[in-house]
Structure 1
Amino acid sequence: MPLSDNMRGALLMMASMAAFTINDTFMKVLSGDVPLFQLLFLRGILTSLFTGVWAWRLGVLHFRLPRRDLGLIALRIVAEIGSAYFFLTALFHMPIANVTAILQSLPLTVSLLAALLFRESLGWRRMSAILVGLLGVLLIVRPGAEGFTLYSVYALIAVGFVTMRDLVTRRLSRSTPSMLVTWTTSMSVMVFFGLAGLGRDWVEMDVRTWGVIVASSVSIIAGYLCSVLVMRVGEISFIAPFRYTGLIWALTLGWFVFGDWPAPLTLIGAAIVVCSGVFMLYREGQIAKQTKRNG
């Protein structure tokens, strides 16, 4: 029985989330063994080579872009560098499920800031879902509680940078190829962390360490590939909620690989964030369908 476009899209979205979470797991495995800047530089070499070849095969490896988009891409690169540093620093010092749960608030923060900065429509139902979801984030972070650390703040800063990245991406012209943006971002992150690591101690790596870095690179490349393919099939309103399966992977891998399991309040907060995000995505899908019918 052939799969529908929606089911193919859902499977691709789940595969993308699994690949990104597996990449995070590999990176966390190396925390304490290899400096962060060295890890990001070496992983960046492999991802830049792959995305560069991909962009070349698609015929988009050029810079004939609108001047406005060049500035937006530069801003996106800054956001990507900031999110990589703060997210991975938090990941190295916190349970993977906790960090992943905080990042599940991204659809909420992106919609909220899009409404505030770009005056995009945001009804009271979606606004209520955003506020409830942010309360869920507070349950995960629990400022002032015994388990609260600086790295919880780092995870929140990472959410801010990723939100900035996604908002900038939404402002890019349709004529600007997505793979070209991905490649320039990957190259820039690689160069930045390579230069930033010059004044720091680098460690020698054994076969196991190299293997984990290669596995991490393969995982993140698979995540990129699936995330691009998923935009070409099915209805976004149906597919988008499956992004939250990344939290299931984070819970499973965090327990299996690191022996971590979140506190009950963290799980409750994560559930609130996920439910709020799914409801908001559902409402956006309903509004899009209604607009299409009226148009």
Structure 2
Amino acid sequence: MPNAPLPEPPVIPSQPGGPLRIDNSARGIALVLLASIFMCSGDIASKYLATSLPALQITWMRYGTFAAIMLATVCFTGGFHRMKTRRPGLQVVRALGVTVSSILFVAALRDLPMADATATSFVSPLFVTALSIPILGEVVGWRRWLATIVGLVGVLVVVRPGGDGFHGASLFVLGSSFFWALSLITTRMMSRTEIPVVTLAYSATIGFVLLSLAVPFSWQALDLKAVLVGAFVGGISTIGHIFLIQAFRYADASLLAPFAYSQLLWASIFGYLVFAAMPDIWTYVGAAIIAGSGLYTAHRERLRARRVATGSQARR
């Protein structure tokens, strides 16, 4: 899965059947930083595999491990009767969103430096803002729209369409971010009734089944090394994702967001160590603009949530 900042804030940890919220900001920040390192490591390994394998096959190996871990987690934390869901249609839509997003992101990694792909993926929260209007019926004020426009300017700085630094694979990252945002919207729609670990298990299982149906059409022979790296990708990415979800048990998304943007730092370091690739200054400039826009959007979301909560309490 792409490493867009804070991919699971719509999941509310205090929902019925889920773990209770425990305020511990330091632990939440530590978990976000660990999640960023783990997921960037998975993407670096995916990029390594992408030099010789199709994106569909890499994603299939990733989801095989993802599904195995999540189904085992469900089994050992209450049994498969927990897989009952009140929103089966939304579970399928979410699974399609994260699966397509993963395929497109891995496809982009074949040709893009890690830092460029990571910086461009920061646009996901802006897509969430846009999609929340037609799907959730939310009203977006002019401040959030302005932040969205500023974020898109940052994307243009990173991607530089028409310039010497432009690569068509950047469009794959934008497509990946769009489908990731769609999955976030559906997660938000399910957050009051679905347990996070069950939602992840559905996404992993449905994604793996769909990929298993499609992967024979682009199959290439695998050696033991590729299989082990593929299992590593799935394992470390899943653990990173679990760390990220756990972080929301201890701190608000608005506090964690700045630390989630550390993904660009890890992507730059790992990209240099493994592929000797260093992003240029414009990648950092664009990423800073996108991050600033995303942080402001998170701030406005926090204020809106506070107003809604205050209004609800006043009506009681």
Matched, 1:22 2:48: no
Following TM superposition, by how much is the alpha carbon of 1:116 offset from its aligned partner in structure 2, in angstroms? 4.4
CA distance in 2: counterparts of 1:48 and 1:237, whole angstroms = 30
Establish whether residue 281 from structure 1 lines up as the match of residue 301 from structure 2.
no
Answering whether residue 286 of structure 2 is matched by residue 266 of structure 1, we say no
Q: 1:226 aligns with which of 222, 225, 243?
A: 243
SS in 1 for 2:119: helix
Within the candidate set 50, 54, 58, 2:73 is matched to 54
Note if 1:149 corresponds to 2:167. Answer: yes
1:99-138 map, 5 Å: 99-138=117-156
Tell me by how many angstroms 1:140 deviates.
Answer: 1.1
Paired AA for residue 258 in structure 2: P
Give the conservation status (yes or no) of the 8 Å contact 1:37–1:194.
Answer: no
Per-residue Cα deviation, 1:214-267 (whole angstroms, up to 9, x for no partner): 322221121122022112112232123321111111111112211112222222
CA RMSD of aligned residues (A): 2.1
Report the count of equivalent residues.
Answer: 290
- Which residue does the alignment assign to 2:253? 236
Specify the code of the residue in structure 2 equivalent to 1:22: S
The percentage of aligned residue pairs carrying the same residue is 27
Tell me the distance in 2 between the aligned counterparts of 1:164 and 1:31. 25
Q: Distance in 1 between matches of 2:170 and 2:222?
A: 30
Counterpart contact for 1:255–1:261, Cα < 8 Å: yes
Unpaired segments ≥5 residues, structure 2: 1-22
- Structure 2 match to 1:76: 94
The equivalent residue for 1:65 is: 85
Using structure 2 for the length normalisation, give the TM-score.
0.84
Aligned residue in 2 for 1:169: 187
Q: Which consecutive residues of structure 1, in runs of 5 or more, have no partner in the other structure?
A: none
1:92 counterpart residue number: 110
Relative to structure 1, is the Cα distance of residues 57 and 261 closer, same or farther in structure 2, using a 3 angstrom cutoff? same
1:284/1:240 CA distance change after superposition, 3 Å: same
Structure number with the higher helix fraction is 1
Q: Are residue 159 (structure 1) and residue 177 (structure 2) matched?
A: yes
Q: Judge conservation of contact 2:133–2:140 (CA < 8 Å) in 1.
A: yes
Residues 61 and 227 in structure 2, CA contact (< 8 A), matched pair in contact too: no
- What TM-score does the superposition give when structure 1 sets the normalisation length? 0.90
Partner secondary structure for residue 198 of structure 1: helix
73-82 vs 141-150, greater mean Cα deviation: 141-150
List, as ranges, runs of 4+ consecutive aligned residues in structure 1 with deviation greater than 4 Å: none
Whether the 8 Å CA contact 1:41–1:191 is kept in 2: the answer is no
Q: Match for residue 18 of structure 2?
A: none
